[in-house]
A and B are shown apart, each in its own frame.
Chain A
Amino acid sequence: MIQINKLMFYLKVVPLFALALAAFSAGAVIEIAPLSSPELESRYRVLIEELRCPKCQNQNLSDSDSPIAADLREQIRVLLEEGKSDEEVIAYLVDRYGDFVRYRPAVQPSTWLLWFAPLGLAGLAFAGVFLVVRGHQRAKKQAAKLSVEEQRRLNTLLSSSSKPSDKHL
């Protein structure tokens, strides 16, 4: 009887535990206390999504468990509570950790290639398609235009083939 009770206990507790784990992994970071206002809290959420953890190669501050990410999240909370704007918070971090921390790089001469190369490449691709298509159309048109001599030859060829001989069949 005791063993069955134990089994029932595990049957209840294990799924609960799994649920709790799932809840924790679903949200990125669970903070101890939310910021003082919902508006700050939502700005904070966006910032830690967009800022990259300098220690980790490809994680934002929100996803990373590294100590430096925790420190930087804390620092961002402090700055936001001090009334700093989003731009000021980003500038604060870029000032110390460089452009690396931005997942949304600033538009500046060093990032023009990054921002505009896709547009340029798409433009080139469209230009290429346009040229190829136009080339084909021109070739077609030229094929359609026959000189007088060619037209005469065509006519004789057509009239001769209109009486099909057994050889060709």
Chain B
Amino acid sequence: MKNLKLFIPFFIFVVLSVLLLKGLGRDPSALPSALINRPMPAFSLPDLHEPDERVTEEIFKGHVSLLNVWATWCPSCRVEHPFFMELAQEGVRIIGLDYKDQDPLALEWLDKLGNPYAEVFVDRDGALGIDLGVFGAPETYLIDHTGTIRAKHVGVVDEAVWRELGALYRQLVQESGR
């Protein structure tokens, strides 16, 4: 009994070590989105290519889509751009949200680097960004065919990220087909 007592600090040490070790592997900048499983917030924003046309949340109804929040001032967006080009070629529907950017620069970017987006609309003052809980670019949302946000990824979408996100995407596409 007395010997067991001597081991108490050691047990506490072991438990703490395990907890701290687990904490080491976590990415502190990965915030859970508050909007998972909630409908896409209502909005009405101009189309990048035809500024007189308005794009609303209706654009997400009927298709599973990715919503990519990007901007020309964002270096990581340039990094992930080629991967989105690939995804678009595979038939993934990607909607672009040009976030707090200048239209001419955005148009020039798409001309030069290619346009992976089925539709691009602009949020010049970041109002929809706040409704979406955007705190930087790039951010990518997975939205199902009912217009409900199902997943969010903060940062560059690359092959490693797509392994998980893509699996969910395909699952949602299958579900919507039924």
Contacts and interface: CB of A to CB of B under 8 A. Distances in A.
A, B assembled together: yes
Interface of A: 53-55, 57, 67-68, 71-72, 75, 94-98, 100
Given A55-B135, A94-B34, A100-B32, 13 more contacts: A53-B135, A54-B31, A67-B100, A68-B134, A71-B130, A75-B130, A95-B34, A96-B35, A96-B132, A97-B31, A97-B133, A98-B31, A98-B133
B28 A68 contact: no
A98 B135 contact: no
Contacts of B32: 98, 100
A97 B126 contact: no
A72 B130 contact: yes
Contacts of B33: 98
A96 B34 contact: yes
Interface of B: 28-29, 31-35, 100, 126, 129-136
Given A54-B133, A54-B135, A68-B135, A98 B126 contact: no
11 contacts: A68-B135, A71-B129, A71-B130, A94-B34, A96-B34, A96-B132, A96-B133, A97-B135, A98-B32, A98-B133, A100-B31
Contacts of A55: 135-136
6 smallest A-B Cβ distances: which pairs? A98-B34, A54-B135, A96-B133, A55-B135, A68-B135, A97-B133
A1 to B, nearest CB: 50
A15 to B, nearest CB: 37
Nearest to A96: B133
B130 A96 contact: yes
Nearest to B28: A57
Contacts of B135: 53-55, 68, 97
A114 B134 CA distance: 27
Residue from A75, A94, A96 whose CB has the most chain B CB atoms within 10 Å: A96
Contacts of A71: 126, 129-130
Contacts of B134: 68
Contacts of A75: 130
A97 B135 CA distance: 9
Nearest to A55: B135
